[in-house]
Structure 1
């Protein structure tokens, strides 16, 4: 009798897991990460006109959906150019401070989101992550 009850419980559980209503509750999107390769190396503005520093960063984009990887790859030259342009306009104080680094990251995020919205029609970038951030100058 115990085996029959156990078997019936398993059947109910299995039918619940396989039911269409249960499948709809499961999240359909899966986040993905796309790295802008190679590292971005560019100059930034120093305190004096004669002094230039450089910064080297590795950027990973957190994408809303794994299906956006192909779009990110296709638009990677535009994303890299945008990152270089943003970094090149930064003053030394901003590049070297932790709060400035976070401001730069947010600027990347906002700008890249707008670009991808214009180019693809979707908000595919969830976050921008700096996995390496080295400056000199």
Structure 2
């Protein structure tokens, strides 16, 4: 489980990394080259496109950060976890959960995101 926990921690760190070079390094550590990410508002295929999508989300929510909201639940090559996006004053402006598919190599092959709470202006 610790390897999956570490992978999810690195995944969240990537969402918070605003330096494009450092974020690209994290992308190489976290994602398979042909990985996919999908949620109700975005779809990205390939490590570079996922990285670019994360950069766009950071631009949409400047000054906010992602955090795990609870424990990572995992079995076999699957993990699910809750997260929140916000500020120190409002840590849960956006709330959701992700289901991750982990490759045999220990990297993310796919992430399927679900949004539980979204500000009205985005919904």
Higher alpha-carbon Rg: 1
> Does the pair score TM above 0.5?
no
Higher strand share: 2
Q: Which one has the bigger helix percentage?
A: 1
Structure scoring higher RCO (CA < 8 A, sep ≥ 6) equals 1
Task: State the TM-score, normalized to the length of structure 1.
Answer: 0.23
Q: Return the TM-score normalized by structure 2.
A: 0.25
